[in-house]
Amino acid sequence: MAYIYTAGIIQEVPGTSEELYAGSGAVFSVQKLPTDPIFYASVVIKNIVVGSRYLLIDTNNDTELASGEAVSQDFDLENIPVSSDPMLVEFRVRLSGTLLKYLPYKSYGYVNRNGATLYVSQVEDTVAT
């Protein structure tokens, strides 16, 4: 059974396959929840100190987008859900090692359909030991 959508009414078309046809003046739309991402993008992290703990936050709603521990100086955070275009994100980095400690680092960036690149510039904490 097929259906035809025209003038705001869905009608059955007997003896046809299960497809939906648009008649004159029909409008199809995809509905989504406000919490659904509008797309996914990659965020590239550069120059982070290996071993640092990081946290990526959507500043619109303070939700965590990604977190972890850096295993290399540069890496990509893939499939970051984007809730607005552009989306302002906060990137926090902390590292407190036994030999070296760094000041808590925080920066911001905009993520759009092309993603974003965040360059990290941590400063060694010379007061803490």
Partner 1 sequence: MSYLFDFGTKLIHILSPQTEVDIQDLLDEIRTQEATEKGITYGKIADASGKEVLGGSVSVGVTLELLGWQIKFWEGNYIAKVAGGNLVGGVSGDPVAYSAGVQTLLIQSAASTVVQVSTGSGLSSEEHDQLMGLDTDTVPTAVWAESDRGSKLDFVYSIEGGKWTIVGDQMVFFSADNLTEIARFNLYDANGNPTMANVMTRTRI
Interface ranges with partner 1 (CB under 8 A): 53-55, 64, 67, 92, 94-96, 101, 104, 125-129
SS3 at position 2: strand
Q: How far is the CB of 57 from partner 1 (least distance, A)?
A: 9
Helices (H) and strands (E) in the chain, counts: 0, 10
- Whether the CB-CB separation of 57 and 65 falls below 8 Å is answered with yes
Of the two residues 17 and 126, which places its CB atom closer to partner 1 in the complex?
A: 126
Shortest separation between residue 122's beta carbon and partner 1, angstroms: 11
Least distance in angstroms from the C-beta of 117 to partner 1: 21
Who contacts 71 (Cβ-Cβ below 8 Å, separation ≥6)?
A: 50
